[in-house]
Structure 1
């Protein structure tokens, strides 16, 4: 549900978030709804401010049950370090607010219950968002780290698998809790289902990343007339899968193929490699692309 714009950024309330808020109201805790909402907003504003400080344009913010997603223009097409810093900003602020609340618990009198609840909310936000599952912050951090050593789509698939395992653990914990205490943790069920549904969406988006990156590079070259370029030198028997893992989103790449005497055998552009890849496969030798 779209609720309006703040500083030009569209704010969207996810249906899962509305469900959690409804459960709070039904449980007679409507007074705590604003506290939860404020904690989520502070968490997400940290992402927004960090993204803007790095020069990214934030299009919209979708508030989720356990945090939010800032849809940042072309973030997935940028460097892994940028994604890591932006993803880490949210949990960092939540942990900072939890620390302030903890001090409040120790010193406050009448406000002690407020600080205790605010501490619990922010600690939960930070802890849950640091889980290595997409689209959570922890999942984005882990994917960015993996993408530095392997294909982006493969890194996404790995994190999605971890996320599914976390969903199973959450559902098992619900069953165990019911068996021991005869209580059902609705929040855990919502979290488990949410992670499964969101993971499918992330998997679809990852499949189109390479095409988006190449389209952006071509557009930048057409608009500016030049593009930052990096060169790699490879021997003819180098595996192409190992080479394309070195291709980053912010530069255009040229592969220089040399023989055993380091004499140039041929030159391949990044575009040529990607165009031949479906026919040759990741395990092909780079000499097959010449």
Structure 2
């Protein structure tokens, strides 16, 4: 459901989020539901503001039962620095709101009913989101750090696997809490939702990787210069194995050696990608040089 636009960004509310607000209403705590709505909205708009500052187009924000998602015109993960900056903005905004709430309390601008809930909501959202688990903000920061050393695809798998592991732990804690009476179903549902989202991130990793590989030539044309990364490969190594080592924001040169470790030639990243798209992942790098 579309609510409208703020600063040119479409605001959508997931039906399940509306159901959650309805539950707040039935429980007689609609004011808390509206506070939760505000906290999530500010968190997502912090991502939007950071994205726009980094030159990334923001198309819409959707509010979900356990957070929100900011959809962008391009994929920030293709540039680890942008992803890190955009991802960190969300939890940072929550911490700013925590400080603002504490200041308001100290100066007597405080409501004993709403104030503590506002404070707790921001602390919980910030703490949850800094977990190094995709698709949470902390997982995106973690992937951004890993991508420079192990490549985007492997970094995505690692961060998404962390997401699945955290999800299983949250479900287990939620189940134990439900049995012992100190938590409700919400903790288990959050864990299941996180597991589903982390699995989707893992499944999308190959497509994200291909986007990253295909876009590199455009990046070089746009920027005019990129740092170079040199790899050395034997002629029988497949293009798939080579491109898995490609990292964002680097242009790769592959030195190809024969079985006697003698120099055969150098293949540039754009040629490798072109041949990969035309002839598949299993093509040996030696064929690129021979042709």
- Deviation at residue 191 of structure 1 after TM alignment: 0.8
TM-score after normalising by structure 1: 0.82
1:268 and 2:267 aligned: yes
- Deviation at residue 127 of structure 1 after TM alignment: 0.8
Moved more, 225-234 or 145-154: 225-234
* CA root-mean-square deviation: 3.2
1:40 and 2:40 aligned: yes
Moved more, 270-279 or 65-74: 270-279
Summarize the alignment of residues 11-30 of structure 1 with structure 2, pairs less than 5 Å apart: 11-30=11-30
Work out the number of aligned pairs and report it: 281
Corresponding residue of 1:78: 78
Moved more, 186-195 or 80-89: 186-195
Gaps of 5+ in 1: none
CA distance in 2, matches of 1:90, 1:127: 11
CA deviation string 1:233-288 (max 9, x = no partner): 444549778864663444543334479xx9963121214434177215xxx8x657
Summarize the alignment of residues 167-178 of structure 1 with structure 2, pairs less than 5 Å apart: 167-178=167-178
CA distance in 1, matches of 2:231, 2:31: 63
Would the aligned equivalents of 2:170 and 2:188 in 1 still touch at CA under 8 Å? yes
Gaps of 5+ in 2: none
Corresponding residue of 1:123: 123
CA distance in 2, matches of 1:245, 1:278: 10
Corresponding residue of 2:108: 108
Corresponding residue of 1:199: 198
The alpha-carbon distance between structure 1 residues 234 and 199, as it changes in their structure 2 partners (threshold 3 A), is: closer
The alpha-carbon distance between structure 1 residues 40 and 277, as it changes in their structure 2 partners (threshold 3 A), is: same
SS of the residue 1:187 aligns to: helix
The alpha-carbon distance between structure 1 residues 39 and 110, as it changes in their structure 2 partners (threshold 3 A), is: closer
CA distance in 2, matches of 1:162, 1:217: 28
Corresponding residue of 1:179: 179
Would the aligned equivalents of 1:58 and 1:71 in 2 still touch at CA under 8 Å? yes
TM-score after normalising by structure 2: 0.81
